[in-house]
Amino acid sequence: GQQLNQSPQSMFIQEGEDVSMNCTSSSIFNTWLWYKQDPGEGPVLLIALYKAGELTSNGRLTAQFGITRKDSFLNISASIPSDVGIYFCAGQSNFGNEKLTFGTGTRLTIIP
């Protein structure tokens, strides 16, 4: 099935650094979502974006809905150890009923 292109595939950073990751699609989406998945758990929603150009924050996380509706970006400021995990973007064509198309994931590791 289709998977969105997410980059980078993995990141190794030091605690306190800022993190940026992005997600691109060949298709237009009307909703972009960002999830975090910890080992042995299901994905947990971090931020939802519903409008092209929208910039939304959730604590230290900021996400943007690309103006072309084919991409999205997630930034994490001042990373802390609990930020470790895999981050997935997901696109959705319509609110609610449409399936989520997930990205390939960005694995974030914090170096002590």
Query: Nearest distance from residue 44's CB to another protein, in Å?
Result: 7
Which one of residues 11, 22, 29, 31 is an interface residue with another protein (CB under 8 A)?
31
Sign of CA dihedral 5, 10, 67, 101: positive
Query: Nearest distance from residue 101's CB to another protein, in Å?
Result: 8
Query: Nearest distance from residue 106's CB to another protein, in Å?
Result: 11
Beta strands in the chain (DSSP E): 5-7, 10-14, 19-24, 31-37, 44-49, 55-58, 61-65, 71-76, 85-92, 101-102, 106-111
Q: Where along the sequence are the contacts to another protein (CB under 8 A)? A: 1, 3-4, 31, 40-45, 48, 88, 90, 92, 95-97, 99-100, 102-105
